[in-house]
Amino acid sequence: MSAAIETRGLTKRFGGLVALDSVGLQAASGETLGIIGVNGAGKTTLMNCICGLYRPDGGDVFIAGERVTGQPPHVVAHKGIGRTFQVPRVFRKMSLIDNLLVPVLDRRASSDAELTERAEEMLARMQLIGLRHNYAEELSGGQQKLLEMARMLMPDPPIVMLDEPFAGVHPVLCKFMIERIEEMSGAGKAVLLISHDLTSIYRLSSRVVALNQGKIIAEGGVADIRGNPAVIEAYLGA
Amino acid sequence: MPILPRLRDPADRIYYTLVVAIGGALMIYFALVPVLGLNVAFHFYLMLWITMASAFNVSSGFSGYLPFGYVAFYGVGAFTTAILVKKAAFPVFLALPFSGVAGLVLALLFAPTLRLSGIYFGIVSLALAGICRLVITNMPEEITGGSFGLQLGSRAHPVQAFYVMMAVMVAALAVILWLSRSRLGKALRATRDDAEAAEMMGINVPRVRLYGWLVAAFFPALCGGVEAWYTNVVDTETAFNTLTTAKTVIYAVAGGLGTITGPIIGSVVMVWLDELIWRQFPLLNLLILGLATIALVLFLPRGIVGTILRRKPQWRRYVP
Amino acid sequence: MDQLILNGIVNGLIVGGVYALIGVSLTLLYGVLRVVNFAHGEFVIAGSFLAYVLFSHLGLPPLLALPIAAIAFFAAGWGLYYVLIPRLSRSDDPELMSFLMFYGVSIAAAAGMLLVFEADSRSIDYTFTPISVPIGPIYVSTARLVALAIAVAISGALAMFLFLTLPGKALRAAIMNPEAIQIMGVDIVRLSAFAFALASALAGVTGVLVALVFPAFNAFSGPDYTIIAFIVVVLGGLGNPVGALLAGVIFGLAEQLATVFLPQSLAQIVGFAILVATIFLRPTGILGSSARK
């Protein structure tokens, strides 16, 4: 069986800078793949290439075995990828309910009432239900991260990508988010988890890929990565 | 989809009650204007500006564009009706729909500009309106009437034109009401707030923007056509007057972008003020319009309805 | 034919010098304040009217009007800044709202000039001696050559100011990174007020030159110059003063040569077409590097 999500030889250049250099990785359903690396290692570029925001200069992206390279982002999204952003990108002047409806607007089979009901369930799970009619811009930074997570889960995508979900988030909220991420992989989703914070990655991931200057420098189980000299060097500097 | 959605939410009930109340009051009032012998010209232009400002709101309030060449749609619509009636001997009622079509065609021609944003879009829009005006000015005199313009002759019928304008306004408001509640409207708003994020959430951004743009272009073109019929004369100077764009933008912003009532209230207040000022100080009219715009931006940037809703966010769900 | 082309080139350089100044002042304003001055053309025409009043009522020649315009417009710009801009930055989308607000300024300014000077076109009957100077086979009016010389001098002085003096460097730094410059301890409000005043002064001075170069002006000439300013600024790259100077000359040449080969009204379309094409094909302007992903 093919992996839920796979990249082969993914390469992206910005001018002379090679942001991604032949990156190949895959994640199966129910698996959490941690992607670590210092700032500028290429983590977010990788995500943007996968979801079609950037057109890679080389290599391919496969979703459930189907090649999606070069497809526009909305097409890739419909293949079953949801994502969050390092700095939350909520729809500021829309209510929380409407924010959640955005990814499922083209579901002609479901009525507005059904979708609204599901949105309310998702908001309840993220403990945001009391604010459902507020504008998204009225939420705190941490709450916006939760809103993004709920929005991402709305269409029930088989693949989710989380970009630095814990950055700047209060420890109590971190714990809450970790539980939600565990639920996602428990529900059989392939989770790509980007972070430069190793503790949470090590806790959640079954496998870890370490990026440095756009290249994969190490790959394996948490134990392998933890002791890997190349990773330690990349993090602490030579 | 049922015509009226199932009103599960009590907020929706209030919302639609308000829609029916405001819409009904507007329609009865305007319908009675010629009957009661009120000022037909004033109310004709009031409806025209309500339509223009409301359609503009689809482009800027819902979609996040500020087309400073908005008058292009109006002008092309005016000339379409005038040319068809004068040169091709179309009956007015047959010519008017072609004005709408001309607006849509122009919108399709301008569609590539939708990938621009912010001031670039505004500047390009302004330039394109300039090009439209120059192209029509340079067309052979036999078609566009040159600098004298086109006179429609004996076809004037102010009361008929009044009711047609009313039909256009009601149609525009109905479409915008539907749009603001529809999935397309939500997709437009999401695109306005963050186009890239919306695209990654599965929204076909170029298509959604195009739909919004077509709605925003269709109604001003119709307005241009009806106005040409009402005044019986069209020339490039008035049909492509930048002040048309200015007034549209100012009235819409005065009421508040993003809501349906905003541009209506903005137009009512501003057209009434405009009339008042014009009657009192005809010479100062332009000056006061300019100063009012400055004051609006500085002291009421969210407009009348927008400011109220900012003070009372809990009302948002009830106000159309 | 050659004579016509030479004429086009000389006139292009002269007009281009004026366009360059119009553009550079608008681009400074946008670069530092991120506001789009829709009323820029009216500022320029107000300068022309000032020169007109000084000449026809006080008998002051246009060359003396230059320093007076510079000082008056600098002061007016400084004041206007504090009336308009600080409140503007509190709105949701200052850049677009600035467009709308200056739209209002443009209408109000045109209406104000209309009230004072009425709708008639005005011109300044000042003549230099000799009235024209031969350049090869063609004759060029002295007033236009003087205007060109002044435009070149002002551009040079402005470039020296921006690249060699401390406040000039601060302005350029503010254009590149407005956040960083605040951290460096520069008072951004004062700097912005200065930029607004400087841009206004340049616009006023340019207005005096407009009165020398172009046959006439009236209260409604403003929008024509605003559009020209937009074309020049976009062509030169938003917020790039050197680009604007260069683009002004290029556009002046293009426009004047277009009038040699095309009918007047079509030549007008050339300007709009250049504007639209630049934004689509090279949004960073002639000097900018391509910013496309």
Query: Hey, are the CB atoms on A77 and B200 less than 8 Å from each other?
Result: yes
Please check whether residue A74 touches B, CB under 8 A. yes
Q: Is the pLDDT of residue C293 over 50?
A: no
pLDDT at C292 over 70: no
Residue A237's pLDDT band, with cuts at 50, 70 and 90, is: low
Using CB atoms and an 8 Å cut-off, which of residues 269-298 of chain B contact chain C?
283-287, 289-294, 296-298
Whether B3 shows a pLDDT value over 50: the answer reads no
C265–B137 CB contact, under 8 Å: yes
Measured between beta carbons, the chain C residues lying within 8 angstroms of B123 are 230, 234, 275, 279
Query: What chain A residue is nearest to B193 in terms of C-alpha separation?
Result: A91
Is residue A108 within 8 angstroms of chain B, CB to CB?
A: no
Q: Which residues on chain B are in Cβ contact (under 8 Å) with A101?
A: 183, 186
Chain-chain contact of A134 with B313 (C-beta, under 8 angstroms):
yes
What is the three-state SS of chain A? CCCCEEEEEEEEEECCEEEEEEEEEEECCCCEEEEECCCCCCHHHHHHHHCCCCCCCEEEEEECCEECCCCCHHHHHHCCEEECCCCCCCCCCCEHHHHHHHHHCCCCCCCHHHHHHHHHHHHHHCCCHHHCCCEHHHCCHHHHHHHHHHHHHCCCCCEEEEECCCCCCCHHHHHHHHHHHHHHHHCCCEEEEEECCHHHHHHHCCEEEEEECCEEEEEEEHHHHHHCHHHHHHHHCC
Q: Which other chains touch chain B, taking contact as 3+ CB pairs less than 8 Å apart? A: A, C
Q: C272 and B131 in contact by Cβ < 8 A?
A: yes
What pTM does this model have? 0.90
How do residues C143-162 score in pLDDT, each as one tens digit? 889 999 999 999 999 999 98
Rounded to an integer, the average pLDDT of A74-101 is 94
Contact B197 A89 (CB under 8 A): yes
Nearest residue on chain C to B113, alpha-carbon basis: C280
The CATH code that applies to domain B10-315 is: 1.10.3470
Task: Give the ipTM.
Answer: 0.92
Quote the pLDDT of residue A2: 73
Distance, in angstroms, between B79 CA and closest chain A CA? 38
Give the range among B129-133, B212-216, C236-240 with minimum mean pLDDT.
C236-240
pLDDT at B143 exceeding the cut of 90: no
Report how many domains make up chain A.
1
**Does B299 reach chain C within 8 Å, measured CB to CB?**
yes
Q: Which residue on chain A is closest to B184 by alpha carbon?
A: A105
Residue B10 to chain A, least CA–CA distance (Å): 13
Per-residue pLDDT band at B104 (split at 50, 70, 90): very high
Best residue in A112, A135, A159 for a mutation probing chain B (most B CBs within 10 Å): A112
- Model pLDDT, residue C278: 86
Does residue A154 register a pLDDT over 60?
A: yes
B250/C contact by beta carbon, under 8 A: yes
Q: Which pLDDT band holds residue C176 (cuts at 50, 70, 90)? A: confident
Q: What is the pLDDT of residue B5?
A: 52
Residues of B whose CB is below 8 A from C258: none
Tokens of C89: 């930055």
Q: Mean pLDDT throughout B26-33?
A: 94
Using pLDDT thresholds of 50, 70 and 90, give the confidence band for residue B6. Answer: low
Helix (H, G, I), strand (E, B) or coil at B37: coil
- State the Cα–Cα distance between residues C283 and A228, nearest whole angstrom: 46
What pLDDT sits at residue A194? 93
What's the pLDDT at B2?
A: 44
Task: Identify which of A130-134, B94-98, B138-142 has the greatest average pLDDT.
Answer: B94-98
The yes-or-no verdict on residue C139 having pLDDT over 90 is no
Instruction: Compute the count of residue pairs across chains A and B with CB atoms less than 8 Å apart.
Output: 86
Contact A113 B202 (CB under 8 A): no
> C2-117+137-281, what's its fold?
ABC transporter involved in vitamin B12 uptake, BtuC (1.10.3470)
Domain that holds residue A148: 5-236
The residues near B48 (Cβ < 8 Å, ≥ 6 apart) are B165, B169, B223, B226, B227
* pLDDT per position as a tens digit, A115-138: 999 999 999 999 999 999 999 999
User: Residue C95: its chain B contacts at CB < 8 A?
Assistant: 118-119
Q: Token pair 């496309």 is at which residue?
A: C292
**Taking residues B58-78, what's their average pLDDT?**
93
Domain ranges within chain C, ordered by starting residue: 2-117+137-281
On whether the CB atoms of residues A20 and A214 are closer than 8 A, the answer is yes
- Mean residue pLDDT of chain B comes to 90
- CATH number, domain of A77, equals 3.40.50.300
Closest-CA distance of chain C to residue B314, Å? 20
For chain B, which residues make up each domain, given as ranges? 10-315
pLDDT of residue B8: 65
Report the distance separating Cα B14 and Cα B317, nearest Å: 9
CB-nearest partner of C107 from B122, B130, B290: B290
Contacts of A105 in chain B (CB under 8 A): 183, 186-187, 202-203
Give the C-alpha distances (Å, rounded to integers) separating A26 from A205, A224, C25: 13, 18, 54
pLDDT digit string (tens) for B150-166?
888 777 789 999 999 99
Helix (H) or strand (E) holding B238: helix B236-239
What integer pLDDT is reported at residue A146 of this predicted model?
Answer: 95
Distance from CA of C119 to the nearest CA of B (A): 12
Cα torsion angle, C126, C130, C135, C137, sign: positive
What value, to the nearest 5°, has the Cα angle with vertex A215 and ends A213 and A219? 125
Q: Is pLDDT at C291 greater than 50 in this prediction?
A: no
Q: How confident is the model at residue C1 (pLDDT cuts 50, 70, 90)?
A: low
- Residues of chain B whose beta carbon is less than 8 angstroms from a beta carbon of chain A are 5-6, 8, 11, 183, 186-187, 189-190, 192-194, 196-205, 258, 313-314, 316-317
Q: Is the pLDDT of residue B194 over 50?
A: yes
